[in-house]
Amino acid sequence: MKNLILASTSTLHGQEYLEYLTPVLNSHFSDCNEILFIPYARPGGITHDEYTQSAQKAFEKIGLAVKGIHQFDSPSEAIKKAEGIFTGGGNTFLLVQQLYHFDLLQLLQEVLKTGIPYLGTSAGTNIAGLTMKTTNDMPIVYPPSFKTLGMVPFNINPHYLDPDPDSTHKGETRETRIREFHQFNTPPVVGLREGSWLEVKGNNIKLKGEPLARIFEAGLEAYEVEPETLLNDLA
Amino acid sequence: MKNLILASTSTLHGQEYLEYLTPVLNSHFSDCNEILFIPYARPGGITHDEYTQSAQKAFEKIGLAVKGIHQFDSPSEAIKKAEGIFTGGGNTFLLVQQLYHFDLLQLLQEVLKTGIPYLGTSAGTNIAGLTMKTTNDMPIVYPPSFKTLGMVPFNINPHYLDPDPDSTHKGETRETRIREFHQFNTPPVVGLREGSWLEVKGNNIKLKGEPLARIFEAGLEAYEVEPETLLNDLA
């Protein structure tokens, strides 16, 4: 009985951290007193403690405590005992490297399958897909594998960005990059625009939030889906 | 006696493939009759043959033939016999994976050190740096290492893009990504804007083209350098 919120971004322009998600998180984590925060994606600028504090500040509003996984002696024990888990954004290469380093990937998979409520934002959402091969991040470290949690039967591209028709820049558009992914990989990709999230409850995967999502399947034209669409058959 | 042209992009907006570089390539490859083209970065859309044809069309204007490395029985023999080498753009993960797959990386290093003229554009420029850890590309395949040619003592970020002050998108800016790289890696990074290239002649590394380049050194504020600046001491 999976129970996940997989958000494109933690923060919308002009808003506080997690602000737009607060009502959703209030019910998502209603059975919890304390959330385990995984700050591993954060590549610097602020410490893991400071990053955890921003999560604490956001969850305080709905009466929940937050503790960072780095504050535990054993990260795996922390995951085993967690009432709810939140993995924040940053760099997906770093997050995945750290999860392998602490040997947490399989454990996280097992725990999430038991129904422990999970929130991912950005990199924390990326790792819920089959692989991290549709991340937008820079490969600043070399993880031992690109394989991730596979909590949904497809890949996710957070912060999905439509092409700018006025651009004169010759870098690839996001759509081109995902098409390139499909030259070598078969899983569908959900392009999650900022303000969208996937709600995973058991076998139901539903698009939530205001924006449409853009779906890429190997060999097909990309297409848009409306909020409240079930993506259960996308595999 | 290295002899390399490392360009940010193959094509400027509104121009033909390699058009802005033609006068430079005319003198760079003046001792060659035929160029060996490495199309491995191309992740699809067009075949290696078609990609090679676009290079052929561009080099025809300066009287040079082009043959694709995929047309040879032995890619390593092709590199050993090459009079000049051009690695085109596409996806850097794919390019690096292919170079390792065919065991060409060390050979290419050795050949380029003998002074064989080389042209890289985009991914072909990325691989001239110490590692591919400052690529902008999506990790669509998993290469056995991120280590690349090290023909310059730093990393390169091709298609360098300044932050858009009007953007409301929450994805990281290019500058933020490179700062994140420096949390885990010490080599400087040259942000090469489109229209710029590095001219490497022996130990001299000079910025060419019209745009300034943006230099990132670990622990320092980023700064701009003018065309014709020597980057020999950047390491």
In-domain check, residue A220: yes
Q: In angstroms, what separates the C-alpha of A66 from chain B's closest C-alpha?
A: 24
- Establish if B230 belongs to a structural domain: no
Mean pLDDT (chain A, rounded): 96
A85 contacts: CB under 8 Å, gap ≥ 6: A35, A36, A38, A79, A108, A111, A112, A116, A117, A118, A119
List, in sequence order, the alpha helices (H) in B116-231: 123-126, 174-181
**Does the residue A97 lie in any domain?**
yes
What ipTM is given for this predicted complex?
0.93
Type and span of the H or E element at A108: helix A105-113
Q: Is residue A27 part of a domain?
A: yes
pLDDT given for residue A198 in this prediction:
98
Residue B140 to residue A184, Cβ atoms within 8 A: yes
pLDDT recorded at residue B45: 83
Amino acid B170: pLDDT: 75
Q: What are the mean pLDDT values of chain B's consecutive 10-residue runs (235 residues total)?
A: 96 94 96 98 93 97 97 98 97 98 98 98 98 97 98 97 82 91 97 97 97 97 97 94
Domain count, chain B: 1
**What is the per-residue pLDDT across A65-107, written as a single tens digit (0 to 9) for each?**
999 999 999 999 999 999 999 999 999 999 999 999 999 999 9
Do residues B180 and B174 lie in contact, with contact meaning Cβ atoms separated by under 8 Å?
no
pLDDT computed for residue B210 by the predictor: 96
Chain B residues within 8 A of A39 when measuring between CB atoms: none
Residue A122 is a catalytic residue: yes
Question: Which residue stretches of chain A have pLDDT < 70?
Answer: none
What is the CATH number for A203? Answer: 3.40.50.880
Chain A residues in contact with chain B using a Cβ-Cβ cutoff of 8 Å: 9-14, 43-45, 91, 93-94, 132-142, 145-146, 159, 161, 168-172, 177-181, 183-185, 194
Quick check: is A195 in a domain?
Answer: yes
**Contact check, Cβ <8 Å, B142/A146:** yes
Q: Are B205 and B230 in contact (CB under 8 A)?
A: yes
CB–CB contact A171 B180 (8 Å): no
B168, B174, B179, B183: CA torsion to nearest 10:
100
Q: Cβ contact (<8 Å) for B146 and A135?
A: no
In a domain, B231, yes or no: no
The rounded distance, in Å, linking the Cα atoms of A4 and A201 is 7
Chain A partners of B39 at a C-beta cutoff of 8 Å?
none
The three-state secondary structure class of A73 is coil
> Structural domain of residue A93, as residue ranges?
3-225
Residue A83 burial (CB < 10 Å; 0-12/13-18/19+)? middle
Q: Is there a domain that residue B119 lies in? A: yes
